[in-house]
Amino acid sequence: MAYSCTYCLLSIVLDEHALERHSQFIRIFERYAIPPEAQENYDTSQDGTNKANKGGMIYGDYLQLDKIINAQELQSEKKGNKIHDEHLFIITHQAYELWFKQILWELDSVREIFQNGQVRDERNMLKVVSRIHRIAMILKLLVDQFAVMETMTALDFFDFRNYLVPASGFQSLQFRLLENKIGVPENLRVPYNRKHYRDNFKGKENELLLRSELEPTLLLLVEQWLERTPGLEPDGFDFWGKLKINIDRGLRDEFTDIQSKPAFEEKEDLLLELNRRKEVLTSLFDEKRHEHLLSKGERRISYKALQGALMIYFYREEPRFQVPFQLLNSLMDIDALMTKWRYNHVCMVQRMIGGKAGTGGSSGYQYLRSTMSDRYKVFVDLFNLATFLVPRHWIPKLTSSIHKFLYTAECCDSSYFSSEESD
Amino acid sequence: MAYSCTYCLLSIVLDEHALERHSQFIRIFERYAIPPEAQENYDTSQDGTNKANKGGMIYGDYLQLDKIINAQELQSEKKGNKIHDEHLFIITHQAYELWFKQILWELDSVREIFQNGQVRDERNMLKVVSRIHRIAMILKLLVDQFAVMETMTALDFFDFRNYLVPASGFQSLQFRLLENKIGVPENLRVPYNRKHYRDNFKGKENELLLRSELEPTLLLLVEQWLERTPGLEPDGFDFWGKLKINIDRGLRDEFTDIQSKPAFEEKEDLLLELNRRKEVLTSLFDEKRHEHLLSKGERRISYKALQGALMIYFYREEPRFQVPFQLLNSLMDIDALMTKWRYNHVCMVQRMIGGKAGTGGSSGYQYLRSTMSDRYKVFVDLFNLATFLVPRHWIPKLTSSIHKFLYTAECCDSSYFSSEESD
Amino acid sequence: MAYSCTYCLLSIVLDEHALERHSQFIRIFERYAIPPEAQENYDTSQDGTNKANKGGMIYGDYLQLDKIINAQELQSEKKGNKIHDEHLFIITHQAYELWFKQILWELDSVREIFQNGQVRDERNMLKVVSRIHRIAMILKLLVDQFAVMETMTALDFFDFRNYLVPASGFQSLQFRLLENKIGVPENLRVPYNRKHYRDNFKGKENELLLRSELEPTLLLLVEQWLERTPGLEPDGFDFWGKLKINIDRGLRDEFTDIQSKPAFEEKEDLLLELNRRKEVLTSLFDEKRHEHLLSKGERRISYKALQGALMIYFYREEPRFQVPFQLLNSLMDIDALMTKWRYNHVCMVQRMIGGKAGTGGSSGYQYLRSTMSDRYKVFVDLFNLATFLVPRHWIPKLTSSIHKFLYTAECCDSSYFSSEESD
Amino acid sequence: MAYSCTYCLLSIVLDEHALERHSQFIRIFERYAIPPEAQENYDTSQDGTNKANKGGMIYGDYLQLDKIINAQELQSEKKGNKIHDEHLFIITHQAYELWFKQILWELDSVREIFQNGQVRDERNMLKVVSRIHRIAMILKLLVDQFAVMETMTALDFFDFRNYLVPASGFQSLQFRLLENKIGVPENLRVPYNRKHYRDNFKGKENELLLRSELEPTLLLLVEQWLERTPGLEPDGFDFWGKLKINIDRGLRDEFTDIQSKPAFEEKEDLLLELNRRKEVLTSLFDEKRHEHLLSKGERRISYKALQGALMIYFYREEPRFQVPFQLLNSLMDIDALMTKWRYNHVCMVQRMIGGKAGTGGSSGYQYLRSTMSDRYKVFVDLFNLATFLVPRHWIPKLTSSIHKFLYTAECCDSSYFSSEESD
């Protein structure tokens, strides 16, 4: 006989005799096993001062639930034809907007740390990397969230979509701000409804967008930070100069190595392959080409910053570069998740409306699909660096002076710790 | 040289010569390839009437974003010590509440369909099963949502948790309503702060909870629906009677079979095992025992409803039972996901506050842990039926009259389809 | 003092006095509370005959773990330079292949049901829809699985990728089979390494691929099944004829309606919009155009099948169409998840190797990106039907004879149920 | 007219006239726009030497797919009654075992780094934290994997579960090894089938388990590492001593503060609350109590290690503690995910078999449920530290000498970097 003890989560199987005795026992247990003074505290779930009684803040007030859960007005209902699924449509979008707000919150705080120069004190790196990672976690949730929306079929949507015209997801101010603050460049944006993206917003919203374009983007701030990577100084460790030498030598050695072999079928292929690699690797040191690619939007960070990023990649295990390396990875996570979000959005829209025009008048599906281009990626350079990796023994060896650097973090604010004497 | 064509997502690799020619080409392409009248529509993302311009509803108004994204007030900030992570705490809880509202929306609609007797017309079963499935999908999202909250460490939380006292997640009205409407029984609830759960709410909230207890729960409505399962009629197909006969015979045959074998080591074990199964299976037909378990809360649905559920299990492939079978599975999904949500909640709370009292005064961890008991499961009977499965050849064969039943859906509202002549 | 009771998962807080008494109590509890004969069974986790002891199958043998967990040989290790992360690379791909096998298993079983004509007996629809849904669930897992692989950085991968040449994910026989059996058309495939996709495989693998192209694909089988949708008969309910009449009338009515209004600014727009819709909707009935699109691969199912699908969409709540409607949705799920899988694959590859050539010699990133085109979608028509939805009151009303049809499932195998007399 | 350009993923809408011209254009484009020598490389997906042709390793051989995908033998089929869903059962378990192997791979590598003292050189911390994080990511996947298994219903399972007897998931050697190597203590394990857990394994497996118990567990290694946290030295920074002083003073100040207030209703409560906190916080410094809790398994790490962990918590932003802090969090992730895995397992088993005995003879459900107790948690102490947090201004201020420590990483292997002169 299955019996579920009040004091445990385990069900236990007893015969009826045993059950009876157990019940008696529990009765005694409750009476005697715990002395009265303890009993009071026994059920710890009943423990504590009942604070809720005594005034003070209440959950619902704290969360302003009167606003949050009273903000769902079905247009279909208003127009006399209540469609059940419109509620899901509203809630889903509101949930997206809540999370966009949180992303903006994190983004702004990170940008502030970078901008204030606080990032020079490496104590702040944990915060930065944690918050960027949190943005990634939120984006992951938002990608999964489409699964809920997709429980609505095209037919369910059709029943109310005409009531929404011309409201459109494109008009999400927060999402546009988000893109701007990360660093989607204004000049690479696909026009929407044949107008500059910003012209689809009016008044204060238009202004906020403009302002966000003028503020330093996360991309810009990361670029500036990368430019300061210790070890790049030409008159110091001179990472870039050393790397060029090593790569040249490495390629030469490989060439000699292949040449020295007797002729065989694949020799030609190997030389071809080597040539190709040579072309790729030497292009890395062509600053002019970099500037050209920059001007076309195919690269996004300065030549110096690119060097910094590669340096962090190669020496990622140095104590001082460990968290920066994590940061670069998390920035790629964000980029990748943004495009995954876009792609899942495209899929959902295709399912909902086929190739038709979206509620805002544009062909939603085509517009969204075009935003999946690499133009909307921000940290492309971090991805593309994968193209320029070299064998470990080509990487310049650290010198003891740079070593000291990389084992020692930088601190700017000498005031925050006490002198030896005080506690 | 990597080149990213404006007209495609594909980057293509061209040498510089080719690139130059391609660029020329694109220029020509843009000028001539598409006749002017078509060009206008060429970039379909710019297509359509620009509806947003002409007035009508705007995204932000539709979603009442002024409410939604202006409902985050940090208590820590108000008290002069702004803590960054409190924002995440607020947003996460608000997102939970939004989704709770959506679950209630689906739950109420399903309960209404059952209550109105609309469920008798099997046209409505698709709606029911889809909405219950949607609830499951939302719960799955809510389970995943903890991962975001868990980017906040105990130390981050400690910095502002005192500002929240005595607000507590227990006070979520919507979650209590949700439990009540699904069917968590009032008398099995663990007290909170040594008070009846409902007494932790005041005024209108208390009333709403009381009312929700009095309304038919999803559990009750499903029970009533199961009781009407075609095939249970003792003077008809008599599923229960036939099943008992078959089980008795089946067990007898197995006994004879084992007995007839020569003595061998495991014979004893086999008989023991058979005996155990016999005990289990025959207990199924003990109505008194069922009533006893019902009274203790270990079973939750009537004897008749239990029979209906088992019948649907066994004949799930019959056309008329396919969607009902899916429904039973989705109900279990909801139950399982609710406890997974609870468990993930417990884990998060343990990480945040250890064993300390929660902000509401109770020991959050202990209280939450106690709600993971089977007492908070609603559709336990559907899970437990797995204990009473029998080999396929023990299942009573259908007769042609019940067959007709099970291939024919029931429709109550004869008015909804037109007569032969009209369209 | 926190105390964790042996008999429960709950920790309880007791002062030391209480703790001591509780301990005594538990000792007594264990001795007396449960009568000896029950005690034996008390800890049910120790219950039962210890079957493992007595011979019979063992977990590891059943799962052939000797094969499974001894199939990881690191090429880097073999070549004297063991790279830790290669193990992850191998395991991940093996896990993918295991799941591909499961998908093929489900796919083959569903195709068999369709092919044998078993699908005519609607008892089999539950199986079909459940298995297609299972494939979707597996694909969802496989999409998530990239997150594990992405814990490997480009630099970790670089350390061993040269050892893998020329092995490449393209060579996954099972994935190609999977695509073929679902219905990716051979003539729309992007060539790989400048060769027909199939020519990248040799011997038995090449043969298996060829054979899979010749077998009826899931797409073809679904098409044939859709063509048999009851209600399409021109001399019966004539869904298509009725729909055309209703759409024509509906559009005409809307036109009259707009015309009758006094001139106002948006009148022109409304007429334009109506015209556009008219064009779209009337194109639906243009069989020639359908054949043209078919020949170009932009549509994939016959004109008749398209009608069947739309009929199921419109009358999805009819008992007989509920599960078929679920099936159409699950087929779209599979299509969408396949492209999501492809896209996540693209993202991972971009992160791992930038724009470089893949290990198989092709530019992995570019090749994969090209497979994301709609050419690789199979059930495009089901998505595109969303373009042809109409208001509910335009949908032809059911007549009572078709009604009878749609409430009655079809059964072919009259032998499977017993006559009235037998059990 | 929708047109899907061969060169882009975008479909474009053109009228027929435009379409015709576009087609002409593309023909010209293909002929002229790209010079012949470039055309060869145009479709980059066909680019590169076709390495696969030329011999070398093939995907399937590399992954040993002949083993992996030929290791599925259905017992039901072997016994003449092939049950479709047994295949899913096998594949799912095999996928679990593959991933268990990967977890063991990571775990062993991390333990080695700790054991070799390599961890003293903080260059290795990135590896450690990345691999522990990877384990967490794998566990997350394994939790999600249950969703696939749950597409199998209890009835589907019943059809073949008798063929599996007595194989049981308990017999997964790798999972037991995993538990042991993380640090589930042998003496806290719940017996299985009334036998010591290890006695359920024979021969070599038994031996491997025994050996894994004798090796240093991850828990032990982390403990030793925590004990070396810089700043704990009583004759140095003396974190523990300073903390005690600060806490005592802090509590005293709060007491004075409350006392000085005029009598009011809540004064009593505040004092009570303060007292409770005092009790908790001072218990932290009671070494004897710690030893007592250790002996009972309620704490798991030494008094010194506990101090180290709390120190890392409090000074987590110091450069030297950032990655260690991440490590502590990831260890908690693993613990939490292990119990979530267990809980999802419990839920699945309950759904599959109700309360019946598992295939191994034990009551699977009850056994599994019992493993969810805190006894199976390893890093409990890290969770429980949340109970001992104090306001930021109670945390001892760093002195400049400890500051230097915490900004400077430790390096043991002075040989790995070159002297100033060489590159």
Q: How many whole angstroms separate alpha carbon B127 and alpha carbon B135?
A: 12
Our CA-based measurement puts residue C170 at a distance from the nearest CA of chain A, in whole angstroms, of 20
pLDDT over 80 at B111, yes or no: yes
Residues 278-297 of C with CB under 8 A from A: 280
**Rounded to the nearest 10 degrees, how much is the dihedral formed by the CA atoms of A177, A180, A183, A185?**
160
CB contact under 8 A, B15 and D38: yes
* Predicted pLDDT of residue C131: 98
Two tokens at C289?
A: 């155009």
Cβ-based contacts of C51 with chain D (< 8 Å):
165-166, 359-361
Confidence of residue B3 (pLDDT cuts 50, 70, 90): very low
Instruction: List the single best residue of B267, B417, B419 to mutate versus C (max C Cβ within 10 A).
Output: B417
Q: Is A383 on the interface with B (CB under 8 A)?
A: no
pLDDT over 70 at D414, yes or no: no
Residues of chain A above pLDDT 90, percent: 59
Per-residue pLDDT tens over the stretch D242-252: 999 999 999 99
More confident residue, A401 or A396: A396
Cβ-based contacts of B59 with chain A (< 8 Å):
167-172
Cis peptide before B166 (omega within 30 of 0): yes
* Predicted pLDDT of residue A106: 98
* Predicted pLDDT of residue A15: 43
CB contact under 8 A, B122 and C319: yes
Minimum mean pLDDT range among B84-93, B126-135, C361-370: C361-370
Per-residue pLDDT tens over the stretch C310-343: 999 999 999 999 999 999 999 999 999 999 999 9
pLDDT over 80 at B392, yes or no: yes
* Predicted pLDDT of residue C54: 52
Q: How many whole angstroms separate alpha carbon B373 and alpha carbon D422?
A: 68
Instruction: List the single best residue of B8, B123, B238, B368 to mutate versus C (max C Cβ within 10 A).
Output: B123
- How far out from the chain centre does Cα B339 lie? 11
- Mean pLDDT, to the nearest integer, of D102-124? 91
Query: Where do we find the tokens 């970097």?
Result: D417
Give the number of B-D residue pairs with CB atoms closer than 8 Å.
Answer: 149
Q: How many whole angstroms separate alpha carbon A105 and alpha carbon A102?
A: 5
pLDDT over 60 at B5, yes or no: no
CB contact under 8 A, C90 and D63: yes
Nearest neighbour of A418 by CB, restricted to D125, D370, D398: D398
B339 and B377 Cβ atoms separated by less than 8 Å: yes
* Predicted pLDDT of residue A121: 82
Per-residue pLDDT tens over the stretch C202-223: 899 999 999 999 999 999 999 9
Structure ipTM: 0.85
Instruction: List the single best residue of D42, D279, D350 to mutate versus B (max B Cβ within 10 A).
Output: D350
Closest of C247, A371, C292, D414 to residue B45, by C-alpha: A371
CB contact under 8 A, C46 and D192: yes
CB contact under 8 A, C62 and D90: yes
Closest of A251, A256, A233 to residue A388, by C-alpha: A251
Residues 87-126 of B with CB under 8 A from A: 87-88, 90-91, 93-95, 97-99, 101-102, 105, 109
Closest of A148, A139, A140, A150 to residue A182, by C-alpha: A139
* Predicted pLDDT of residue A30: 42
Angle separating helix axes C239-260 and C303-314, nearest 10 degrees = 70
Q: How many whole angstroms separate alpha carbon A135 and alpha carbon A329?
A: 13
**Rounded to the nearest 10 degrees, how much is the dihedral formed by the CA atoms of B216, B219, B223, B226?**
120
Two tokens at D343?
A: 């809980």
Q: Is C316 on the interface with A (CB under 8 A)?
A: yes
Nearest neighbour of A69 by CB, restricted to B50, B61, B101: B101
Closest chain C residue to A136, measured at CA: C147
Cβ-based contacts of A359 with chain B (< 8 Å):
51
CB contact under 8 A, B8 and D8: yes
Report how far apart, in Å, the C-alpha atoms of C30 and of each of A27, A34, C7, D367 are: 16, 17, 10, 19
* Predicted pLDDT of residue B215: 95
* Chain C partners (3+ C-beta pairs within 8 A): A, B, D
DSSP letter string, C136-178:
HHHHHHHHHHHHHHTTS-HHHHHHHHHHHTT--GGG-HHHHHH
B44 and A366 Cβ atoms separated by less than 8 Å: yes
Per-residue pLDDT tens over the stretch C106-123: 999 999 999 987 767 888
* Predicted pLDDT of residue A143: 96
pLDDT over 90 at D331, yes or no: yes
Beta-carbon neighbour count of residue C27 at 10 Å?
Answer: 10
* Predicted pLDDT of residue C423: 42
- Mean pLDDT, to the nearest integer, of B271-277? 90
Residues of chain B above pLDDT 90, percent: 59
Q: How many whole angstroms separate alpha carbon C309 and alpha carbon C382?
A: 7
Query: Collapsing DSSP states into helix, strand and coil, what is residue B15?
Result: coil
pLDDT over 60 at D361, yes or no: no
Half-sphere exposure of B107 (CA within 13 A, CB side): 27
Two tokens at B383?
A: 């899970």
Closest chain C residue to A357, measured at CA: C387
pTM score, whole prediction: 0.88
- Mean pLDDT, to the nearest integer, of A29-37? 36
- Mean pLDDT, to the nearest integer, of D247-265? 91
Q: Is C356 on the interface with B (CB under 8 A)?
A: no
Instruction: List the single best residue of B14, B59, B139 to mutate versus A (max A Cβ within 10 A).
Output: B59
- Mean pLDDT, to the nearest integer, of A150-166? 92
Cβ-based contacts of A352 with chain C (< 8 Å):
386
* Predicted pLDDT of residue D148: 97
Nearest neighbour of D21 by CB, restricted to B7, B21, B34: B34
Instruction: List the single best residue of B11, B26, B51 to mutate versus A (max A Cβ within 10 A).
Output: B51
Strands C11-13 and C2-4: antiparallel
Cβ-based contacts of C95 with chain D (< 8 Å):
95, 98-99
Two tokens at D292?
A: 């007592």
* Predicted pLDDT of residue A399: 84
* Predicted pLDDT of residue A265: 72
* Predicted pLDDT of residue C314: 96
Cβ-based contacts of C366 with chain B (< 8 Å):
10-13
- Using alpha carbons only, what angle is made at residue C114 by residues C112 and C115, rounded to the nearest 5 degrees? 60
* Predicted pLDDT of residue B194: 73
- How far out from the chain centre does Cα C290 lie? 27
